[in-house]
Structure 1
């Protein structure tokens, strides 16, 4: 390693010897050094600048700045889904390199025989701040990830039951895919909320895109029919597949007066939408494609 630039102040010592600090840090974090440019491109994060800023805040005992820095780092790291194992290795390397440079500083300053109390206080303060950074980083990272997952789940839930208003009184709920117990609960909550919010008089629920509905989902589906009826809305079900009908028959399920069934969505729209003759011909042409 090249010769150190001596200084009487640890902050200045780290500033003056930054190239040596970075060299030592990169040698310590062997798995991270090859990822520095990639991380910079992905999240615009300069790991070397950030490492140097962190150690300066630590030796200056700036606790608030350390915690603020940790929160910002956690958010950026989570936002771009960067690997946590690299961050852990990088922080370990920063801590080890800092202690190496504190030792060189003491040697050059003639302070190699520090009193144990002074040495203990110094090491405790520095370690506490680095640990505080690590803790703040992971709390911020986890919080951002949890909020992101929550937002994504809400989006998925909305897409699971996309109610489309057609007129002020009539709306369509086209469902596709598989309905399991979890999705059935989501659909029930969303439908009841939207029926009340939009004051839907007639809800056309198209099931032609449903490939499978398990037994528990069918039972929950019946509860949804009860709820919609209790709210004064008329429910029209279209596109029931034969395999789903067979499952309903096995479970002795009957809609009764809870819902009206139509073979197709086209038929339901013809019956429940007030259209003139020209519009009706247009709709027939649309559905015949």
Structure 2
């Protein structure tokens, strides 16, 4: 690191005037991150060195609003590109140490042997508070973005897990596949009842041939959903009931309402409910 520093009348100007020394000191403090700077630039178009100086100047100038907004933007950027937050934590702590080093150099050039007590503690509180504020806002922004992504993905999965497929203006098919747990059965209840109302379905064919497992409490909840479907003025038709599922229902004493029709296969049910005209379903 160069031993010469260009003196300026305030700390922000001192940092800007000694930019190369600032970068060199920062890289010496961030041992792990310095080898990832180019990777992060390529992956997320994030210039760590440029942003570090920007953050340092916001702190030095006590620009709280700009610092908070910058932290939000940084949090979203790191979340979007799934960058490792441990690198960010090390980097910001390196910026903190570099800032204190520069304050020391600045104080030496201004001829004071040491900070007066009040001046030192005021400066310490202000700088550390701003760095902590940046970190807190960054992690909140990062976490919020990730939460929104998870919520969006969950909604997509929910829609895909309850695929109501209209066959014509009054008949729809609901093929259920995989594990039917408590969370999914609750999703099923909401999506099915809303779907019947919005699509004005009169007959809903529910194909269970793809269901891998259904616990007893889920079966009981499913029975209530079938009652709800009838209350909506829609006729439920079950197809593809597997032997093990039927056996579990029998042993538990669960029986569906007499108004709930059951058929062997989906193909059989479609053939009975649709009018075949010239080889095309109408």
> Smaller-chain TM-score range?
over 0.9
The equivalent of 1:20 in structure 2 is 21
* Partners of 1:120 and 1:36 in 2: CA distance: 33
The equivalent of 2:90 in structure 1 is 89
Return the offset for 1:34. 1.3
The equivalent of 2:220 in structure 1 is 219
The equivalent of 2:165 in structure 1 is 164
Which 5+ residue runs of structure 2 have no aligned equivalent? none
Return the offset for 1:7. 2.3
2:87 counterpart of 1:66? no
2:51 counterpart of 1:50? yes
* Partners of 2:238 and 2:53 in 1: CA distance: 65
User: Pairwise CA RMSD of aligned residues?
Assistant: 1.5
4+ residue segments displaced more than 4 Å:
none
* Partners of 1:201 and 1:107 in 2: CA distance: 84
2:117 counterpart of 1:148? no
- What secondary structure is seen at the aligned counterpart in 2 of 1:4? coil
* Partners of 2:193 and 2:64 in 1: CA distance: 50
* Partners of 1:145 and 1:213 in 2: CA distance: 31
* Partners of 1:41 and 1:205 in 2: CA distance: 49
Question: Does 43-52 or 141-150 show the bigger shift?
Answer: 141-150
2:120 counterpart of 1:110? no
- What secondary structure is seen at the aligned counterpart in 1 of 2:206? strand
Tell me the alpha carbon deviations over residues 107-127 of structure 1, each in whole angstroms, 9 at most, x when there is no partner.
Answer: 112133332222222222222
* Partners of 2:245 and 2:193 in 1: CA distance: 23
Tell me the alpha carbon deviations over residues 162-208 of structure 1, each in whole angstroms, 9 at most, x when there is no partner.
Answer: 11111111111111111112211111111111111111111011111
Aligned length: 281
Which 5+ residue runs of structure 1 have no aligned equivalent? 284-289
* Partners of 2:277 and 2:30 in 1: CA distance: 74
* Partners of 2:45 and 2:112 in 1: CA distance: 40
Question: Does 2-11 or 95-104 show the bigger shift?
Answer: 2-11
8 Å CA contact 1:169–1:202 kept in 2: the answer is yes
* Partners of 1:235 and 1:54 in 2: CA distance: 62
Tell me the alpha carbon deviations over residues 219-246 of structure 1, each in whole angstroms, 9 at most, x when there is no partner.
Answer: 1111111110111100111111111111
The equivalent of 2:101 in structure 1 is 100
Tell me the alpha carbon deviations over residues 42-66 of structure 1, each in whole angstroms, 9 at most, x when there is no partner.
Answer: 2111111111100011111111100
The equivalent of 2:244 in structure 1 is 243
* Partners of 1:26 and 1:258 in 2: CA distance: 74
- What secondary structure is seen at the aligned counterpart in 1 of 2:184? helix
Q: 1:273 to 1:111 in 2, by over 3 A?
A: farther
* Partners of 1:223 and 1:250 in 2: CA distance: 18
Return the offset for 1:277. 4.1
* Partners of 1:16 and 1:43 in 2: CA distance: 28
8 Å CA contact 1:180–1:216 kept in 2: the answer is no
Normalization by structure 1: what TM-score?
0.93
